[in-house]
Amino acid sequence: MLENIKKEFSTRILVLIPIAIAINIAIGELVVRLKLPVYLDSIGTVLVGAIAGPWAGALTGALTNLIWGLFNPFAAPFFYVAAVIGFLAGLAGKRGAFENESPRWLSVLVGAVFVFSLTMFILAFSNASIDDTGFTSYPSMADLFSQYAIIFVVAILIGAAIGYFLLQRGGYAGFWGLITGIVAAIISAPTAAYVFGGVTGSGTDVLVAAFRASGAGILSSVMAQGAVSDPFDKMLSFMVVWLILRSLPARFKAR
């Protein structure tokens, strides 16, 4: 087992890890400042995991959050979540998720979930309201589903079509991203709820507020927010890495 772990940390990978950490922090900090309801701070982690393996991916994720925590106090406590994301990305890479052609039905599922989540984000922000005190409130998820049921159905159909025609080879990567997002949402919720009270300084705080407005408790709201944003975020990260790897020359990937 130790030999297998050592193989993941070749000289090229040791050079790549700091670059991946810099990519994670740069994109993650930009997303935080823009208050977007996603994270996108795992692209470098997923890339290392996909190329090198689970242990290299886990190390990249953990170091990213620990270093980022030096100037963003919300990042460091989630280092274990980032490590799990990198580990799962490595498992996905070992099983050919970024190389093998996926069945059409899986690509359809990934596309439908992706566009559905994106539609929910857009509707939540477009229906936000600001009161006289400057406080921004967001509609509950139940209100969105009841008011825009037809739009959600159309979004699912469009996403399914995108998956069928455009993601014919990316279904496995998207599916692993979906699973990784679900796992990340589950294991990060207690820290977000009990350490930070559901407020982590990112754009996903608005989703927590929306679920709280629906009457849910703090842990339930954080779990619900994670169930919405994390799968979308990790699917997007895994698909970005899939596109990166597809664009690289075969000789470069082999090296």
Q: Is the pLDDT of residue 213 over 70?
A: no
The CA distance from 127 to 250, in Å, is: 46
For residues 47 and 124, which has the higher predicted lDDT (pLDDT)? 47
Specify the residue for token string 């799962």. Answer: 88
Q: Is the pLDDT of residue 241 over 90?
A: yes
The model's confidence at residue 41, banded by pLDDT at 50, 70 and 90, is very high
pLDDT value of residue 64? 97
pLDDT value of residue 35? 78
pLDDT value of residue 119? 87
State which residues form the domain around 111.
2-254
The CA distance from 168 to 165, in Å, is: 6
pLDDT value of residue 167? 75
Question: Phi/psi at 137 (nearest 5 deg)?
Answer: -115, 150
Q: Read off the tokens for 90.
A: 């490595």
Give how many domains the chain has, as a whole number.
1
Q: Where are the alpha helices (DSSP H) in the chain?
A: 2-8, 11-34, 43-51, 54-68, 79-94, 104-126, 141-147, 149-166, 171-194, 205-213, 218-247, 250-254
pLDDT value of residue 215? 63
The stretch 30-56 carries a mean pLDDT of 91
Between 15-24, 25-34, 94-103, 212-221, the lowest mean confidence (pLDDT) is in: 212-221
Instruction: Please give the C-alpha separations between residue 239 and each of 27, 85, 90, 138, 232, in angstroms, as whole numbers.
Output: 16, 14, 14, 29, 10
Q: Is the pLDDT of residue 18 over 70?
A: yes
The pLDDT tens digits of the residues spanning 106-124 come to 989 888 988 888 888 778 7
The pLDDT tens digits of the residues spanning 51-102 come to 999 999 999 999 999 999 999 988 999 999 999 999 999 999 999 999 888 8
The CA distance from 146 to 209, in Å, is: 19
Amino acid at 222: V
For the CA atoms of 154, 118, 48, 27, what is the dihedral angle to 10 degrees?
150
Question: pTM of the entire structure?
Answer: 0.85
The CA distance from 188 to 201, in Å, is: 15
The CA distance from 111 to 30, in Å, is: 26
